[in-house]
């Protein structure tokens, strides 16, 4: 985690010095690779560090922090650009990554790693890692179905989000100012949901947190798909911001509680690979489809399919014989 933050800080510093767009794209690829290493590492570390009975509350507070950053971050960035310059703003961003590194150093070392036992990075070792994940999926079909099902449903949101600017401005007719207001309102909804979840996290069942979060999120996309004005789309985005927090915290807690830490890094990496590959393919298909037929019809169809899928998914989550997968303690 520390190394990936340092890499990101260094390469963010390089962006203002880039001579052309090709170099900037190359830097962005490196930043994405560093983030790809950080995500499974941080997920595994948090799972080791936070006791099972406290994970849901921890994830609720983390959602609150992320939601607050969603609003405050762009505002601070925009203010810094106005007061200084883009270059200085990027360098300040890099400094904050280094500050984060100093905070990571304070965290306890929870892993006992025998460096001599670490295998070399070879093709056979990569194949072995895939085999480990394949065996885990085969032996834990329900857990794999729930998380992979969540990933597949979220692909619909990624595809719709890529068309968001075009849809809101050209189909619905929002101005750039109204679109900016819309994003801010979504962030406010996220903060409101995160505050409520942080307070009442221990009183809300993990299963209902996932189900209500998912269904209301898909309902918000249906409202968005059939919106005709700024007021109607605001309703959808407030619901989206509010309930997305519940869904993300619930799924993350379920994931941490049901994936053994000894394979979590490899499982997370493979799931992330599956998500990224399908995301690229899905977005391309939706982009082509939107060019062939109307964008409104494409978005509406995606939203309805996602809503139907969320009901099927919710039935799987609420099955009584699977209740043990959602226990929040070891009792």
How far is Cα 296 from Cα 168, in angstroms, rounded to an integer?
10
pLDDT in tens, 17-72: 888 889 999 999 899 888 888 888 888 888 888 888 888 888 888 877 776 676 67
∠ at Cα 245 (49, 217), nearest 5°? 140
Give the chain's length: 331
Find, among 283, 321, 82, 74, the residue nearest to 164 by Cα: 283
149 is written with which tokens?
A: 């099902």
- More confident site: 301 or 273: 301
> pLDDT above 90 covers what percent of the chain?
18
Given a cut of 90, is residue 163 above it in pLDDT? Answer: no
- Other beta carbons within 10 angstroms of residue 184's beta carbon come to 15
Given a cut of 70, is residue 7 above it in pLDDT? Answer: yes
Contact 228, 177 (CB under 8 A): no
pLDDT in tens, 60-107: 888 777 766 766 777 677 778 888 888 898 899 899 999 999 998 888
Contact 2, 104 (CB under 8 A): yes
At residue 116, the pLDDT reads 54
- More confident site: 231 or 128: 231
pLDDT in tens, 199-235: 887 788 889 889 999 999 999 999 989 988 888 888 8
Those residues whose C-beta lies under 8 Å from the C-beta of residue 134, and which sit 6 or more positions away, are none
Is 120 in a helix, a strand, or coil? coil
* Average per-residue pLDDT for the chain: 84
pLDDT in tens, 309-327: 999 999 999 988 888 888 8
How far is Cα 84 from Cα 78, in angstroms, rounded to an integer?
10
At residue 331, the pLDDT reads 44
At residue 127, the pLDDT reads 74
Find, among 97, 79, 80, the residue nearest to 89 by Cα: 80
At residue 244, the pLDDT reads 85
- More confident site: 121 or 143: 143
Mean pLDDT of 238-267: 86
How far is Cα 134 from Cα 129, in angstroms, rounded to an integer?
9
């Amino acid at each position: 985690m520390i190394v990936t933050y340092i890499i990101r800080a260094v390469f963010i510093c390089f962006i203002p010095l880039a001579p052309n767009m090709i170099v900037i794209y190359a830097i962005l690829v490196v930043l994405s690779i560093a983030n790809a290493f950080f995500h499974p590492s941080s997920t595994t570390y948090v799972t080791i560090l936070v006791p099972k009975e406290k994970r849901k509350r921890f994830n609720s507070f983390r959602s609150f922090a992320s939601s607050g950053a969603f609003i405050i971050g762009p505002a601070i960035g925009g203010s810094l650009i106005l007061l200084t310059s883009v270059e200085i703003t990027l360098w300040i961003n890099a400094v904050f990554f280094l500050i984060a590194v100093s905070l990571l150093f304070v965290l306890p070392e929870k892993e006992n790693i025998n460096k001599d036992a670490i295998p070399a990075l070879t093709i056979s070792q990569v194949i072995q890692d895939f085999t480990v994940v394949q065996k885990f999926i085969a032996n834990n079909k329900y857990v794999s179905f729930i998380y992979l099902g969540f990933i597949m449903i979220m692909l619909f949101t990624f595809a719709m989000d890529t068309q968001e600017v075009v849809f809101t401005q050209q189909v619905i007719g929002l101005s750039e100012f109204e679109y900016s207001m819309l994003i801010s309102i979504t962030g406010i909804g996220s903060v409101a949901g995160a505050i409520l979840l942080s307070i009442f996290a221990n009183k809300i069942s993990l299963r209902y947190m996932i189900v209500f979060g998912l269904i209301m999120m898909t309902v918000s996309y249906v409202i968005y798909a059939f919106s005709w004005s700024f007021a109607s789309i605001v309703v959808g985005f407030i619901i989206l911001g509010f309930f997305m927090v519940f869904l993300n915290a619930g799924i993350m807690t379920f994931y941490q509680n049901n994936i053994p830490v000894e394979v979590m890094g490899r499982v997370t990496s493979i799931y992330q690979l599956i998500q990224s590959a399908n995301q690229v393919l899905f977005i391309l298909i939706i982009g082509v489809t939107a060019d062939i037929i109307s964008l409104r019809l494409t978005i509406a169809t995606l939203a309805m399919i996602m809503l139907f899928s969320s009901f099927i998914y919710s039935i799987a989550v609420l099955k009584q014989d699977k209740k043990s997968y959602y226990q929040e303690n070891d009792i």
